[in-house]
Structure 1
Amino acid sequence: MSSKELKNLMQRREVLMGLAAGTIVPMVSGCADNAALGRSQLMLVSDGQLAQLSDQAWRESLQRERVLRDPSYQRRLNRVGQRVVEASGQTDKDWEFVVFDSDTINAWVLPNGKVGFYKGILDIMESDDQIATVMGHEVGHVAGRHSAERASQQVAAQVGVQLITSALGSSEQTVGYTDDIGAALGMGVTLGIILPYSRQHEYEADRLGVDYMVRGNYNPRQAIDFWQNMSELHQGGRLEFMSTHPSDDNRIAAMRAHMTARGYV
């Protein structure tokens, strides 16, 4: 191998390692400041695109899931949801709160303000304060524009993978290994960029959610109680490193630190 070929190969390896570690981002113009988070975000996906996808996903969810017909559950969720949204200032969206008839312990939100809670998670909540814990978290995801940022990261990562894999494929030293390198690089990007950002989003949504609880006159200490109860329910969960969500212990510790810093406790 000539010195020039060796230099080129080393440069390609540096790019590969940098992309996998999340230190190289495609040079695109798409950053926006988010006042709620106090940081800038990569934004390659338009609000219009997300709105269309969200509307479609919501219609499909209402068709696929069975909506709970018990009005007491729906009234309770609406009462807390409206109060948390008012406290968050995110009143420009057409918010809708629906309880699905399932024992699943989960809740989720779409960027267009459509919120789904399952009966299972409401049944383990001891108070409206605990509903506000999860509702605040979901509204925090919307305020943080986390769906748009995550989608943008995936677009950027995919473009980077394709570009670097193509460049490596042109090297004689990688002939016959392009598919393997592309798969490995894809895993590197997933672990180095996508999942850590998802965990960051979860921490940010927790912090915003606690702030919204306080503004809405809910007890923020109930957020700790709720997540401690959830921790007892989690058995045999995946390692945090391979998960989009923080471990319960780390989440509770971060929440305590935020509440202490804010003077909530």
Structure 2
Amino acid sequence: MSMKTFIALVLLVALSGCATARRERMVWRVKDVVLAESPVVNFGGAGDTVMASIPTRLLQELMLAHLRISRSAGITAELLLTDGDDPNAFAGMLSDRPVIGINLGMVKLIGENINEYAALLGHEAAHWAKGHIDATRLRRSTLEVIGTVVSAGLGAGGVLGAGTLAGLGLSMIDASYSRDQEREADAAGIDYVVANNYDPTGAVTLFEKMIQQAKGPRVPFLASHPSDQERLENIKALIDAKKSLAGAPAP
């Protein structure tokens, strides 16, 4: 039976300004996770709890897409995965460095469609690249890390390595962008996707998935972004315009 790598970077966080409201937040640096030697990475916390199992190949493709799109956007941001069941993605700061985060709920929603991941990464990268984010937009309820633990293991207890990190601060951006900023991020994000030879229709299929999901469980990503049919049609029009410029027939 093949061994599955289990890697967890646990961030214990407290909501600033609310001393009694503490919760555990789990965050994984994708650049570390892609080094797994096994075909599947199990994401979980203490004990044997597994919240998600993701193919190592997909994580490597996700990291490559992030590096390519970040280069096109002219930004330097670290890519994180976080826990959470409701599909979401965010921009934030970790130890005063820009980050882009995708939670496990969004990973489950997207599955293995790398073009949809590219669209998501392009959109978030565009918010950084276009100056939509600055330090003054950090929430007052900043997530403050009060302790971190890194653990890695093979199978049931085979330890690859362990250590502790301290003093990291994770801040999430208040994603109350204007409609003009969202349009600009959509357009620039599609530019980054096309420039790196990903299929821009991934933006359409991802948006349709999120709209469908929003009919049931909450989708925080849509709650903080304009999510009407008009925006979906605008995305389709942007893609058609790109295809027309490239000489390709519109679908």
What's the TM-score, normalizing by structure 1? 0.51
Q: Percent of pairs identical after alignment?
A: 28
What are the Cα deviations for residues 165-191 of structure 1, in whole angstroms up to 9, with x where unaligned?
Answer: xxxxxxxxxxxxxxxxxxxxxxxxxxx
Q: 1:231 aligned to 2:216?
A: no
Distance 2:121 2:12 in 1: 21
Aligned counterpart in structure 2 of residue 127 of structure 1, from 109, 113, 116:
113
* Residue 149 of structure 1: how far off its partner (Å): 9.9
* Residue 260 of structure 1: how far off its partner (Å): 2.4
The answer for unaligned runs of 5 or more in structure 1 is: 1-57, 152-193
Extract structure 1 runs of 4+ deviating beyond 4 A.
58-61
* Residue 248 of structure 1: how far off its partner (Å): 3.5
Q: How much is the aligned-residue C-alpha RMSD, in angstroms?
A: 3.4
Amino acid of the structure 1 residue aligned with 2:83? D
Distance 2:69 2:212 in 1: 26
Who is 2:46 aligned against?
Answer: none
Structure showing greater Rg: 1
Instruction: Give the total of aligned pairs.
Output: 158
The answer for unaligned runs of 5 or more in structure 2 is: 1-10, 15-22, 34-40, 42-54, 138-174, 245-249
Aligned counterpart in structure 2 of residue 201 of structure 1, from 132, 157, 181:
181
Aligned counterpart in structure 2 of residue 215 of structure 1, from 189, 195, 203:
195
Query: 1:245-264 residue pairs with structure 2 within 5 A?
Result: 245-263=225-243
* Residue 148 of structure 1: how far off its partner (Å): 3.2
Distance 2:228 2:81 in 1: 25
Distance 1:235 1:104 in 2: 13
Who is 1:146 aligned against?
Answer: 132
- Normalized per residue, the structure richer in helix is 1
Distance 1:256 1:97 in 2: 27
What's the TM-score, normalizing by structure 2? 0.53
What are the Cα deviations for residues 135-159 of structure 1, in whole angstroms up to 9, with x where unaligned?
Answer: 00000100111123984xxxxxxxx
Query: 1:1-265 residue pairs with structure 2 within 5 A?
Result: 64-68=24-28, 70=41, 72=56, 74-88=59-73, 90-91=74-75, 93=76, 95-110=77-92, 112-125=97-110, 126-148=112-134, 151=137, 198-235=178-215, 244-263=224-243, 265=250
Give the 3-state SS of the residue equivalent to 1:246 in structure 2: coil
Structure-2 change in CA distance of 1:123 and 1:115 (3 Å): same
Amino acid of the structure 2 residue aligned with 1:214? V
- Normalized per residue, the structure richer in strand is 2
Structure-2 change in CA distance of 1:150 and 1:232 (3 Å): farther
What are the Cα deviations for residues 205-228 of structure 1, in whole angstroms up to 9, with x where unaligned?
Answer: 111111100001100012111111
